[in-house]
Amino acid sequence: MLHRAALAILLLRSSAALADGDEISPVPVPAVIGHPYVGDRAPSQIRFINVRTRPVSIVWIGFDGTERFYASLDPGDEMVQPTFVGHRWLVKDKEDGQPLEAFISTRSAIRDRGTAQIALIR
């Protein structure tokens, strides 16, 4: 498992896909949990990459602030999630359910050309 996570990190560091501006910064977890919001209709994508040594759950925070499970990622795994600007995403430890990181999809010129924002799960 550790080998897969290390390999994912190595590949990301050498990949052109991680150019300046591609990586989306996490936001404080309390900023997204339990708060209603209004999203945007502009489509976007987030590429979640689990560089941790434990599996995680990817959870979308609905407009009413409730959590909706979307996927699980094992260490070293990744997925591209279609979404919209302003949508909120929470990453939890799959085993104990603890919130780890949160992301809010944003506009970026790079993504507008079809490249997903990169959310490194650390």
pLDDT tens figures, 40-50: 888 889 999 99
Each residue's pLDDT tens digit, 69-105? 999 999 999 999 999 999 999 999 999 999 999 999 9
pLDDT of residue 41: 87
pLDDT at 54 over 70: yes
Using the Cα atoms of residue 32, residue 99, residue 61 and residue 119 in order, give the sign of their dihedral. Answer: positive
Each residue's pLDDT tens digit, 101-115? 999 998 764 545 667
pLDDT of residue 109: 45
Q: How far apart are CA 110 and CA 33, in angstroms?
A: 28
Domain count for the chain = 1
pLDDT tier, 14 (very low <50, low <70, confident <90, very high otherwise): very low
Specify the CATH number for the domain of residue 96: 2.60.40.780
> Which residue, among 87, 88, 84, 91, has the nearest Cα to 111 in the 3D structure?
84
